[in-house]
Amino acid sequence: MAKISTPPLFFIGSTPTIALNLPRGTAVILATVAAWRTRSTLLTIVLGMSAFWMLQALSSESTQHPGKLPTMMTEEQIEEAHHTLNELHIEHRDLDLVIEHLLVSPPADDLLIRRLKKRKLLLKDRITQLEHLLEPNVLA
């Protein structure tokens, strides 16, 4: 659990920092409490990821229109896009670790694994979209 939750809290990219932002920090705290109280890896993963997704959906960051891309971006928007891209890469990696763990010891129903894989694909699409926004591959 510590291997998955510690890097996103204390590093943004390769820069050491304390990043206890609302979605990620709160989700890690909830998952840590669940792990401590229940000693169930599966319940810890499900609770932590569910809390993260719910809090991220409620945050103002994800209420912006993710499908609409601006044509010109300010330095602040570029910096925010890089930060979001970094968080999406971290979440994608975390989901990959969770799915890998669940495949080793599969749950009773594979609906959870299918949902996690779907979320991972959605994250990959959003990552690709942001990468194209930040580094357009348009021939002039």
105 occurs within a structural domain:
yes
| pLDDT value of residue 61 | 47
pTM of this structure: 0.49
pLDDT top residue among 31 and 69: 31
What is the domain count for the chain?
1
In a domain, 140, yes or no: no
Q: Which residues contact 80 (CB under 8 A, 6 or more apart)?
A: none
Q: Which region among 17-21, 37-41, 81-85 has the lowest average model confidence (pLDDT)?
A: 17-21
Tens digit of each residue's pLDDT (9 = 90 or more) over 96-130:
988 888 888 877 778 888 888 899 999 999 999 88
> At CA 74, angle to CA 71 and CA 75, rounded to 5?
135
The kind and range of the H/E element at 11 are: strand 11-12
Mean pLDDT of 60-69: 47
The answer to whether position 29 is within a domain reads yes
The answer to whether residue 67 sits within a structural domain is no
In this prediction, residue 10 carries a pLDDT of: 56
Q: In one letter, which amino acid is 42?
A: L
Q: How far apart are CA 99 and CA 111, in angstroms?
A: 12
Is 17 domain-assigned?
A: yes
**Residue 38 falls inside a structural domain:** yes
Range of the domain at 12: 2-62+72-134
